[in-house]
């Protein structure tokens, strides 16, 4: 979409908003028309290549079977800029994924449609202080904030999340976080997997009540030691399976949990091939038997399923460990290779079952995949 179209579209959106308002509260006309709803407004001196409307909303997501879970979510809408700048993750609490390029000038119209204050922090991006969503800038319900910055980070995986004064933890837990994927010219010269072969893997732990609703910090211990959920949620799903083809993938793993640490490894002992850590590609790939990942941290894995048998499964596990705060080493993802129907000629995959590190009491999903045909689609 061209800039001109984007501006027209925004006018149209404002107009639509106005007519809706006029039906119920005509006195709000001037307020909305003057854009006073933004605690910080757009600057006429900033000429964006990309304009995005990002709205914090209360909605629901089908995380567990049965009743949907009430969540908070950042929804994104492209107002102007290259097609493909935004990818939605429908049916989850995870915010829209933003695909940005180094050097782009980006303007975010943030709208807070939640019943309480909110502000967004761009985790890992180099932006001016006033654009970084410090809690001192949080805006009340019904207000907003216009962010303007130039993307000045190398190609890599970043995130954004709620950063509201005294409410960051609980708001992120409710769902207010998402991925930002930055590309740059150097990276484009590398022959890294793209499109459907470039997959985000967002790891989160959550607890639910009998009504499928999220349960957060219950007691002093959790407040001090950090909250640990008892279900593993990957990309917003409890039983996550990624059907993969027998070829290399780029897996962008984000620890989006509030305080859980992960010790990640392949269940069959295959070493992890790490190609990037927080916010930049490595000079050369590094192989490790496992990688520790703390909240907010990202690693990118080169996962090559070439030569694996169709119908088999491989699991990215959270291995048990000790030496961290009590409870942190308990959670895990476990699973095993097994055989499929043996009909398909080739494939590769991941599979998992959430499980305590001691091998007892499986409860919930891990990261799961099934080997299948070379097209990367479900069998
Ligand atoms: Cu952060």
**pLDDT value at residue 338:** 25
78: in domain: yes
Separation of CA 177 and ligand 1 centre (Å): 9
Residue by residue, pLDDT tens for the chain (379 residues) are 333 333 344 433 333 333 333 334 333 333 344 444 898 999 999 999 999 999 999 999 999 999 999 999 999 999 999 999 999 888 899 999 999 999 999 999 999 999 999 999 999 999 999 999 999 999 999 999 999 999 999 999 999 999 999 999 999 999 999 999 999 999 999 999 999 999 999 999 999 999 999 999 877 777 777 889 989 999 999 889 999 999 999 999 999 999 999 999 999 999 999 999 998 999 999 999 999 999 999 999 999 999 999 999 999 999 988 765 545 544 443 322 222 222 222 222 333 322 223 222 223 333 434 343 333 333 2
Domain boundary among 155, 189, 223: 189
Query: Whole-angstrom Cα distance, residue 330 to residue 372?
Result: 32
Residue 201 near residue 241, CB atoms below 8 Å? no
- Three-state DSSP class for 21? helix
In terms of domains, do 82 and 175 share one? yes
Q: Measure Cα distances from 95 to 192, 301, 371 in Å.
A: 25, 22, 28
264: in domain: yes
Please name every residue paired with 290 in a beta bridge, in sequence order, or none if there are none.
none
Separation of CA 133 and ligand 1 centre (Å): 10
379: in domain: no
In terms of domains, do 20 and 42 share one? no
Separation of CA 125 and ligand 1 centre (Å): 10
Radius of gyration of the chain (CA): 22
Query: Whole-angstrom Cα distance, residue 212 to residue 323?
Result: 33
237: in domain: yes
**What are 51's two structure tokens?**
């304009």
Separation of CA 173 and ligand 1 centre (Å): 13
373: in domain: no
In terms of domains, do 338 and 281 share one? yes
In terms of domains, do 150 and 65 share one? yes
Query: Whole-angstrom Cα distance, residue 31 to residue 28?
Result: 5
Kindly give, in sequence order, each residue whose CB lies less than 8 Å from that of residue 75, ignoring residues fewer than 6 positions away.
54, 55, 57, 88, 95, 96
Query: Whole-angstrom Cα distance, residue 280 to residue 134?
Result: 24
* Displacement of CA 56 from its chain's centroid (Å): 15
In terms of domains, do 240 and 288 share one? yes
Separation of CA 86 and ligand 1 centre (Å): 20
Range of the domain at 99: 38-189
Domain boundary among 156, 189, 222: 189
Query: Whole-angstrom Cα distance, residue 204 to residue 32?
Result: 37
Kindly give, in sequence order, each residue whose CB lies less than 8 Å from that of residue 108, ignoring residues fewer than 6 positions away.
51, 52, 53, 54, 120, 146, 147, 148
| CATH assignment at residue 202 | 2.60.40.420
In terms of domains, do 141 and 10 share one? no
Separation of CA 72 and ligand 1 centre (Å): 17
Separation of CA 161 and ligand 1 centre (Å): 6
How many C-beta atoms surround the C-beta of residue 238 within 10 A? Answer: 18
- Three-state DSSP class for 312? coil
In terms of domains, do 13 and 99 share one? no
**pLDDT value at residue 365:** 32
131: in domain: yes
- Three-state DSSP class for 255? strand
In terms of domains, do 51 and 175 share one? yes
378: in domain: no
Q: What is the largest CA-CA distance in the chain?
A: 68
**pLDDT value at residue 224:** 77
Per-residue buried b or exposed e for 335-350, using 16+ beta carbons within 10 Å of the residue's own CB: bebeebeeebebbbbb
Separation of CA 160 and ligand 1 centre (Å): 7
62: in domain: yes
Separation of CA 36 and ligand 1 centre (Å): 28
Separation of CA 296 and ligand 1 centre (Å): 6
Residue 63 near residue 236, CB atoms below 8 Å? yes
Separation of CA 202 and ligand 1 centre (Å): 15
Please tell me the total count of domains within the chain.
3
Separation of CA 347 and ligand 1 centre (Å): 37
Separation of CA 164 and ligand 1 centre (Å): 11
**Left, alpha or beta for 109 (phi > 0: left; psi -120 to 50: alpha)?**
beta
In terms of domains, do 50 and 179 share one? yes
Residue 319 near residue 265, CB atoms below 8 Å? yes
Q: Among candidates 64, 58, 362, 61, which has minimal Cα distance to 212?
A: 64
In terms of domains, do 214 and 162 share one? no
Residue 299 near residue 357, CB atoms below 8 Å? no
Domain boundary among 189, 220, 242: 189
Separation of CA 170 and ligand 1 centre (Å): 14
CA angle 209, 211, 216 (to 5 degrees): 30
Kindly give, in sequence order, each residue whose CB lies less than 8 Å from that of residue 344, ignoring residues fewer than 6 positions away.
310, 311, 371, 372, 373, 379
In terms of domains, do 284 and 136 share one? no
In terms of domains, do 362 and 218 share one? yes
Burial label, 277 (beta-carbon count in 10 A; 0-12, 13-18, 19+): middle
């Amino acid at each position: 979409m061209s800039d001109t179209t984007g501006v027209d579209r925004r006018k149209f959106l404002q107009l639509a908003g106005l007519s809706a308002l006029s039906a119920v509260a005509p006195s709000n006309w001037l307020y909305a028309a003057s854009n006073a709803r933004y605690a910080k407004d757009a600057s006429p001196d900033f000429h964006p290549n990309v304009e995005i409307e990002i709205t914090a909303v209360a909605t629901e997501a089908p995380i567990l079977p049965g009743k949907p879970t009430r969540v908070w979510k950042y929804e994104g809408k492209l107002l102007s800029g290259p097609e493909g700048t935004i990818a939605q993750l429908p049916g989850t609490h995870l915010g829209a994924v933003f695909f940005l390029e180094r050097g782009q000038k980006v303007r975010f119209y943030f709208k807070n449609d939640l019943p309480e204050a909110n502000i967004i922090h761009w985790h890992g991006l180099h932006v001016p202080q006033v654009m970084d969503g410090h809690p001192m800038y949080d805006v009340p319900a019904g207000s907003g904030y216009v962010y303007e910055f130039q993307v000045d980070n190398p190609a890599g995986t970043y995130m954004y999340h709620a950063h509201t004064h005294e409410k960051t933890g609980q708001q992120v837990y409710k769902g207010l976080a998402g991925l930002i994927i930055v590309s740059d010219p150097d990276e484009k010269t590398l022959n890294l997997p793209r499109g459907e072969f470039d997959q985000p893997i967002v790891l989160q732990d959550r607890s639910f009540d009998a009504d499928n609703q999220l349960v957060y910090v219950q007691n002093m211990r959790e407040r001090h030691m950090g909250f640990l959920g008892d279900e593993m949620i990957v990309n917003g799903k409890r039983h996550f399976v990624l059907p993969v083809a027998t070829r290399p993938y780029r897996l962008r793993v984000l620890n989006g949990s509030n305080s859980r640490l992960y010790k990640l490894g392949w269940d069959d002992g295959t070493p992890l091939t790490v190609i990037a850590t927080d916010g930049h590609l490595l000079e050369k790939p590094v192989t490790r038997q496992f990688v520790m990942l703390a909240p907010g941290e990202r690693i990118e894995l080169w996962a090559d399923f070439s030569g694996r048998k169709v119908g088999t499964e491989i699991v990215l596990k959270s291995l048990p460990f000790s030496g961290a705060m009590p409870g942190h080493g308990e959670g895990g993802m476990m699973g095993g290779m097994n055989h499929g129907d043996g009909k398909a000629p080739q494939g590769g995959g991941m599979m998992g079952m959430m499980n305590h590190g001691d091998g007892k009491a499986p409860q919930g999903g891990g990261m799961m995949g099934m080997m299948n045909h070379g097209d990367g689609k479900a069998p």
